[in-house]
Structure 1
């Protein structure tokens, strides 16, 4: 039975205020909130994080069934308690919320997909337009809680050794034969304080994301460019697959992300990495025809990773989708110049929309007829258990 405490409940309300009223990212808000009170134990911290994420995930459902005004986050919490079949204490903040009315409202509205699955109208329409019948299946999966997945850093350990070491650190994990370097946490917990993490033995990386670096078909000794590196989760995976042999050039338009990548690389024991800021077209020109492999993990809508970023569906807009489609098209056109003839390039997104995925690749191949050929493509769907990703490998023929 769930028992509410004033301090942790207020922490949830404060977190929701920062997410919805101030437009902050949920993961950063939770991180900041949990740092504020060292007296909270594991159970309190889990309540704050999971309840906040759950209310963000079901925001539209809760707001509709409780008839909450914008910003009335106490009423959302009351609705969450009622629909989760928890006891709602007789607190002043919950006054006026009738459990019977909320349950009746939910029964009446649950047949409407955009209410039941808690999604904006425009996004529900776009998903159905692009994915047809598949949209309902994937939307349901995207509202499930994401598993926490680790990637064993094979520069320092192997999967079995890491699993045993984590077990000694009170972190229990399971394996998935489809993902050779992945360990899945049996229970959500803070793994960043473990000795194994501090020693650089693993990174937190979803299993779907772990498929992208191997899809590039790299070998030790190659020259590889990760052209949209960000903070470098896939860059570090590339380094491990290359066994620190050859060269990786990690690029991004934001220096702070590359600085964070350098810190992570030092912890992981990566020694074949160079970072470069993309300032203008000259940054790409200097690397023309220089790479055996290029990874373009491009900016996207992020619709494949709503399990772990549920606030994204409230921050996205049709205008953002339009702009990101143009950006993806430009990156494919401009960044491919860094690839040698005979080299291979992977275009990837964490989206499930065809307009961001295979349609972008088809458009690129049509515009560069005879210059590139499609070698292989893969879809990883949220309904398969992990995050949604798309990847296509292209070969430069001339």
Structure 2
């Protein structure tokens, strides 16, 4: 790296933005990489890896630090806490970085940020950990399995308890490990503009490793990518960055030519654009979201993909739109959720989300479903989907809805777990309104 201290300074900025200022991790990382596009690929990769890794492993890192520090992690100043966390991540998970380098650079950074008086503390803690990396005492897996999982996979214990209602601890371990596993980026080919084979060839010519998914031939898995938003193929709308699980929503909708589709919480528009493209320019896709900013994201993607049968509208999904009642062949209700299926991409959710938040989200989901089901024509479908693996937000919501709306029937229901496809955890239910 041309300036390793600068790289670590940017890592620190990201970690502080997430843990102190409440910025979402993917937003904080994207903001830094966009601002410093001139950095070499190696530096950008280092910044991404250390930032994401520190957040992914934060509970484990804190557990390690607390064994060797006289000051517990939660008592440290935010800057010092983030510097030590990221240095410990480097020492434990990045073989290419010497332990001495991680210690020295952390001390330099502490001084640079005005914490010279604490540089000795930083040095002492890190060198103590560096000498004892192979002697860390983890919870006993046989005697305290749940605590062991919480520490080694950095999952809060309350979350493990929540999942334990539906999965064994052994299955939860596989799920939690999947969240820590690096997977290729997945993109959806815009079949109205290019074939998957041609897109794959163009991306390979840019030095990327690309392969086409075995089950969804328009899905491409990409490795060796630095900043996809900077390449011409992105600007031309030849692909959309979208997880494999998310693509299955449009598949489940089974749209037909000239269908009217209403996506009630659709920002930034990926699922709607997918559906609009499957309609080959026919029909009408109305994509809504609650804020002006979110609608602007939808409109930006409509323009980039040059979709002609899709419009964006600002609308609160909780409020009934009398003009849409009985007008939709398909309603897409991909609703706000806990996001517990996307911890691989957004690890900070693990530390933000609390049990009471999930209760509030379930109430919101039911309020929206109670409103938007009215838009479905007799014989039409409503797709209810979330990016969580919590049964309370998924199967239990469907059961609640069906108990209150006998005019619907469940046609299909699928819970995708993150250890199954190498994709996000996702839930998709297709409900058909009977011809009454």
TM range (shorter): over 0.9
Structure 1 position 136, deviation (Å): 2.1
Segments of structure 1 that go 5 or more residues without pairing to the other structure are: none
2:61 maps to 1:62: yes
Which of the numbers 331, 335, 339 marks the counterpart of 1:294?
A: 331
Q: Cα–Cα, structure 1 residues 34 and 374, in superposed 2: closer, same or farther, change >3 Å?
A: same
2:123 alignment partner in structure 1: 95
Which of the numbers 53, 71, 89 marks the counterpart of 1:80?
A: 89
8 Å contact kept, 2:317–2:368? no
Structure 1 position 328, deviation (Å): 1.1
Structure 1 position 9, deviation (Å): 1.2
Matches of 1:380 and 1:281, distance apart in 2: 27
Aligned pairs for 1:11-160 (under 5 A) are 11-67=10-66, 69-70=73-74, 71=78, 72-84=81-93, 85=95, 86-88=97-99, 89=101, 90-91=103-104, 92=107, 93=119, 94-96=122-124, 97=126, 98=128, 99-107=130-138, 112-133=148-169, 134-160=171-197
Which of the numbers 261, 278, 285 marks the counterpart of 1:224?
A: 261
Query: In the TM superposition, what whole-angstrom CA distance separates every residue of 1:182-226 from its partner, at most 9, and x where no partner exists?
Result: 110122321111111111100100111111111101012111111
Matches of 1:41 and 1:396, distance apart in 2: 54
Q: Cα–Cα, structure 1 residues 162 and 102, in superposed 2: closer, same or farther, change >3 Å?
A: same
Q: Report the TM-score, using the length of structure 1 for normalisation.
A: 0.94
2:272 alignment partner in structure 1: 235
2:302 maps to 1:271: no
Structure 1 position 3, deviation (Å): 10
Aligned pairs for 1:249-268 (under 5 A) are 249-268=286-305
Higher relative contact order (CA 8 A, sep 6+): 1
Structure 1, 77-86 or 23-32: larger mean CA deviation: 77-86
2:8 alignment partner in structure 1: 9
Query: In the TM superposition, what whole-angstrom CA distance separates every residue of 1:270-322 from its partner, at most 9, and x where no partner exists?
Result: 00112222247665222000011111101111111111111111111111101
2:340 maps to 1:331: no
Q: Cα–Cα, structure 1 residues 211 and 189, in superposed 2: closer, same or farther, change >3 Å?
A: same
Q: Cα–Cα, structure 1 residues 358 and 281, in superposed 2: closer, same or farther, change >3 Å?
A: closer
Structure 1, 99-108 or 122-131: larger mean CA deviation: 99-108
Q: Report the TM-score, using the length of structure 2 for normalisation.
A: 0.86
Segments of structure 2 that go 5 or more residues without pairing to the other structure are: 67-71, 108-118
